[in-house]
Structure 1
Amino acid sequence: MSILVTGSSGFVGLNIVEELLARGEVVIGVSDRPMPAIAAFEFAELSGHLVQIVADVRNEVCMRRLIDEYGVRRIVHAAAITSNAEREKAQASLTIGVNLGGLTAVASAAVASGVERLVLVSSNAIFGPTPDYVLLDEGWPKAPFNLYSLSKWTGEMILEQYGASTGLDWVAGRLAGVFGPWEYRTGIRDTMNPVFQANTLALAGKPAFLPRRGTSNWHFSRDAASALITLLDAPSTQHRIYNLGTPYVWSIADWCDRLAARFPEFHIHVGEGEGTPINLYGDQDGGILSGDRFTQEFGPTGRFDLDAAFDHLIEWQERHDHFGLKSAS
């Protein structure tokens, strides 16, 4: 029995693949490009077995052939284009094609081959602009504001309808602003997490500017992957959709203060002052993604608070020659 992970060479996909391999699983990783060489080398040392396949997730025949050939029983669907406004103007059909056509092809292949469960990696972007710091539960009104957020919400509805008509066992896990190990510029994720932006500037010794402190329950990639895998593993789930926000609320300014202590040439200015601007995903912080539904059923959504995440990520980046940061600086 094996597990298929689509989008396996992307940021979140790499974290999922690594955790599955670390516990000894056979993982079939499908993506539009090979994963970074450093990841493939490191993953080869883990107890599981990885098969890397470059393929188009929109190709249902290909997806079914892979599922059947490798005996796939469960799927994590992480493949997506996280587009900004410029890409949506130039590549609207590609964005929708990958985000919805890919999901539909994978789901259809899963039904045809009797896959036990499909986990969709969804996003808090579906809620659109929300009041600052309100707790966003699963039923909060949806207000998608671009093609990416619309595709994530539509993807959930497609699975709801398709699952009802075919018996597909599916579940969606919504992530917040994810940061952590294995983030890099893939070319299909247009705005990097503010933590990635800040770390890049700190490594280069350049000052940074924040328009505001930028407070949220920023989502550490290790916690995000673990929660998604919990949904994959569960014998059954009480719900189809889970918000996966962690209880740790802090600001990008808090993170930058720790960077300044670690990198003496790095300085952060909040609200006024000079420096390279850090993109905070809009003009307001917005709501805090709840994790209450998941916690009540499965336990905590996160293990890494601000200090634990900072220590883990800085140490990881040092061991990995600052993967992703140098080429972006």
Structure 2
Amino acid sequence: MKVLVTGAAGFIGMHVSQILLARGDQVVGLDNLNDYYDPQLKHDRLARLTPNPAFSFVKMDVADRDGITKLFAEQRFDRVVHLAAQAGVRYSIENPHAYIDSNIVGFTNILEGCRHNGVQHLAYASSSSVYGGNTLMPFSEHHSVDHPISLYAATKKANELMAHTYSHLFGLPTTGLRFFTVYGPWGRPDMALFLFTKAIIEGRPINVFNHGKMIRDFTYIDDIAEGVVRVLDRTATADADYDPNQADPARSSAPYRVFNIGNHAPIQLMSFIEAIEQAVGLEAVKNFMPMQDGDVPATHADVEELAAWTGFKPAMPVPEGIQRFVAWYRHYYRV
């Protein structure tokens, strides 16, 4: 297939592109290479893809309406993996317009490109943050997600609604993927594992929010990428059993699906930090702090829907995943 991967220089985008290329697909990677974090890391990720003759790179912002329109018309993609977005919960509080431009305007451009150019299936990044103020665990696709607590979460919820509209109106098959705290080699420098590892190695204190009383469903990058590709390969279809009199957020009469992708094995933040300390071989100096705005105390993914649809469940044990990240970090930064 010819597959467009937006955000191809990103953490998840690089890994998904590698899987697609390894099995023989043609991949067009799109990224704007912005400076939300060190662009050099993005360039180095791209350098792992560009030697493959089946990969081509387009530097473009998904908010570029004319550019995206032209790209879709010229390339005629079979399928699309849309991962480009302005990431980060806390950054959305400080810079809301960046999220509207990328996550709303950009997503509209991708939907329009798919609609007008015969794309067979659009798989796109949503987020566990859509569960917002929910406290019933584990988070299920059948739960309501109407109470976001950050603009980032609101844009991801909006993406799911927009996708459903296009699935309903135009028959465009769409599948949303709610990622749960992705970590691993080549990860983002603004994520906890990267920040903690860097600070511990450099002998600086780490900020531990909510005084350490946090639980996260940390999900290893290889599991995430495998899940994305499996979902991409199974085109969303209408649910013949959908009952509009008993509306279920996980069901639709349109070719629309949404799935959690999480490890289904949440751990305490303090246990996560202990695993980093063991992998690094140093004890962290901890600066305990209150909860940050827009954050939630716990996440836990119910992944039964994903398993039933694809036959796949994430399974990497967190300590092993952390060991692999620390080994990559030491090699990449020559520590």
Q: TM-score scaled to structure 1, two decimals?
A: 0.83
C-alpha change, 1:23 and 1:88, in structure 2 (3 Å) is: same
* Contact 1:208–1:277 (8 Å) recurs in 2: no
> Is the counterpart of residue 140 in structure 1 residue 143 in structure 2?
yes
- Give the fraction of aligned pairs with identical amino acids, expressed as a percent: 21
* One-letter identity of the residue aligned with 1:100: I
| 1:301 positional shift | 2.4
Task: Output aligned runs, 1:127-206, within 5 Å.
Answer: 127-131=131-135, 134-142=137-145, 143-185=147-189, 192-206=190-204
C-alpha change, 1:77 and 1:7, in structure 2 (3 Å) is: same
- Report the equivalent of 2:245: none
> Is the counterpart of residue 108 in structure 1 residue 112 in structure 2?
yes
> Is the counterpart of residue 227 in structure 1 residue 227 in structure 2?
yes
> Is the counterpart of residue 241 in structure 1 residue 258 in structure 2?
yes
| 1:109 positional shift | 1.0
* Contact 2:92–2:151 (8 Å) recurs in 1: no
Gaps of 5+ in 2: 34-38, 240-255
Structure 2 residue corresponding to 1:303, chosen from 310, 315, 318: 315
Secondary structure of 1:136 counterpart:
coil
- Report the equivalent of 2:215: 215
Once residues 81 and 297 of structure 1 are traced to their aligned partners in structure 2, the CA distance between those partners, rounded to angstroms, is 28
Output the aligned Cα RMSD: 2.7
Once residues 179 and 207 of structure 1 are traced to their aligned partners in structure 2, the CA distance between those partners, rounded to angstroms, is 21
* One-letter identity of the residue aligned with 1:136: F
Gaps of 5+ in 1: 186-191, 270-274
* Contact 1:6–1:76 (8 Å) recurs in 2: yes
> Is the counterpart of residue 261 in structure 1 residue 266 in structure 2?
no
C-alpha change, 1:242 and 1:277, in structure 2 (3 Å) is: same
> Is the counterpart of residue 29 in structure 1 residue 26 in structure 2?
no
Once residues 267 and 258 of structure 1 are traced to their aligned partners in structure 2, the CA distance between those partners, rounded to angstroms, is 11
C-alpha change, 1:97 and 1:12, in structure 2 (3 Å) is: same
- Report the equivalent of 1:53: 58
Q: For residues 9-63 of structure 1, what are the alpha-carbon distances to aligned partners after superposition, in whole Å with 9 as ceiling and x for unaligned? A: 22222222232223332211111128733223322455x6221111121234322
* One-letter identity of the residue aligned with 2:193: V
Greater mean alpha carbon deviation, residues 21-30 or residues 157-166:
21-30
* Contact 2:10–2:45 (8 Å) recurs in 1: no
* Contact 1:123–1:176 (8 Å) recurs in 2: yes
- Report the equivalent of 1:71: 76
C-alpha change, 1:303 and 1:265, in structure 2 (3 Å) is: closer
> Is the counterpart of residue 292 in structure 1 residue 317 in structure 2?
no
- Report the equivalent of 1:39: 45
Secondary structure of 2:264 counterpart:
coil
* One-letter identity of the residue aligned with 1:259: I
Once residues 278 and 42 of structure 1 are traced to their aligned partners in structure 2, the CA distance between those partners, rounded to angstroms, is 39
Secondary structure of 2:111 counterpart:
helix
* Contact 2:127–2:180 (8 Å) recurs in 1: yes
* Contact 1:31–1:54 (8 Å) recurs in 2: yes
| 1:161 positional shift | 1.1
C-alpha change, 1:3 and 1:220, in structure 2 (3 Å) is: same
Once residues 85 and 2 of structure 1 are traced to their aligned partners in structure 2, the CA distance between those partners, rounded to angstroms, is 35
Once residues 282 and 97 of structure 1 are traced to their aligned partners in structure 2, the CA distance between those partners, rounded to angstroms, is 20
Structure 2 residue corresponding to 1:96, chosen from 92, 96, 100: 100
Secondary structure of 1:137 counterpart:
coil
* Contact 2:149–2:294 (8 Å) recurs in 1: no
Q: What is the number of residues matched between the two proteins?
A: 309
Structure 2 residue corresponding to 1:82, chosen from 87, 95, 98: 87
C-alpha change, 1:180 and 1:109, in structure 2 (3 Å) is: same
* Contact 2:279–2:322 (8 Å) recurs in 1: no
Greater mean alpha carbon deviation, residues 199-208 or residues 35-44:
35-44
Once residues 255 and 62 of structure 1 are traced to their aligned partners in structure 2, the CA distance between those partners, rounded to angstroms, is 42
C-alpha change, 1:148 and 1:207, in structure 2 (3 Å) is: closer
* One-letter identity of the residue aligned with 2:14: L
* One-letter identity of the residue aligned with 2:259: Y
Secondary structure of 1:198 counterpart:
helix
Structure 2 residue corresponding to 1:124, chosen from 119, 122, 128: 128
